[in-house]
Chain A
């Protein structure tokens, strides 16, 4: 199982800007490197990340080979209503990781 870590506040005031920090465990093998015997190491990266807030997509990113291992993606959103945030990473070789978090907005 691919490990991910997400940091966000569990509660916020309505209208408040909240910061969400996500980290995914992944080697992000860029596909340009060779082994000691000269064979090309196949590309193996995360290609997409998305976050939805109560079913509505609020953030999406496309990832490319130049991005470092264990990519950290930080973004902000406005705390509009209580509910669920769903995070999803997909990539090469069928890589899928997901995480969901609850937020209470008062």
Chain B
């Protein structure tokens, strides 16, 4: 009897999930997609994300704000200056963890003296997609360091914590049960390799935060607001978890 209750206690204290996916076994969401969706992503000329890239290029060159300056006036040709930038976000800037979208908006407010773009607005998606596109094919370069360690730990804790009415942790699906099916669709490993991306379900481009909120609503948890520190910490952990994997922005996903 005592042994049985002791065993129960041990089972209850066991960690939620089995452990991290070994680095060599990591697979992009691309590999879980069907042939047609892959073809859409591979052919940039017929990927619907093309329109956001073109809009982003226009915004990059358009003077805006009280100054008025354009991104191009300081940063020059994005193809050179923005190469590799998206592989290093979220990062700590001035003691605060910021993602790429927040970095773009900070630049707008501080340098251009312009109003920040709203989260998920066409403008912010276009500009962040255009910036991230310049890193397509480059490996994600997030490393744990003294500045980001506590955010990384917080992000991991959130990834492994049960949440919502379904009481599920991100890790239970994406670390422990990837490759299996959930209502007929394969469970991917949740590597944010292609954001912002064109999702067929959305019929539109969307950010990583939009996707994370989707999953939170799926497990019937209260989703964090766009730009919330908890959200950015989770983004940082996911990018670190996908370190070394190639950026596919703008990806296409079902």
Contact = CB atoms under 8 A, between A and B. Distances in A.
Nearest to B55: A3
B46 A69 contact: no
A70 B40 CA distance: 12
A44 B46 CA distance: 22
Interface residues of B, number: 10
Contacts of A25: 48, 51
A74 B36 CA distance: 14
Nearest to A7: B45
A43 interface: no
A27 B203 contact: yes
Interface residues of A, number: 13
A5 B51 CA distance: 9
A21 B45 CA distance: 9
Interface string A80-94: 000000000000000
B21 interface: no
B51 A21 contact: no
A69 B204 contact: yes
Contacts of A46: none
Interface of B: 45-46, 48, 50-51, 54-55, 200, 203-204
5 contacts: A3-B51, A5-B50, A68-B203, A69-B204, A70-B203
Given A5-B51, A27-B203, 15 more contacts: A3-B55, A5-B45, A5-B46, A21-B45, A21-B46, A23-B45, A23-B48, A23-B51, A28-B203, A68-B203, A69-B203, A69-B204, A70-B51, A70-B203, A72-B46
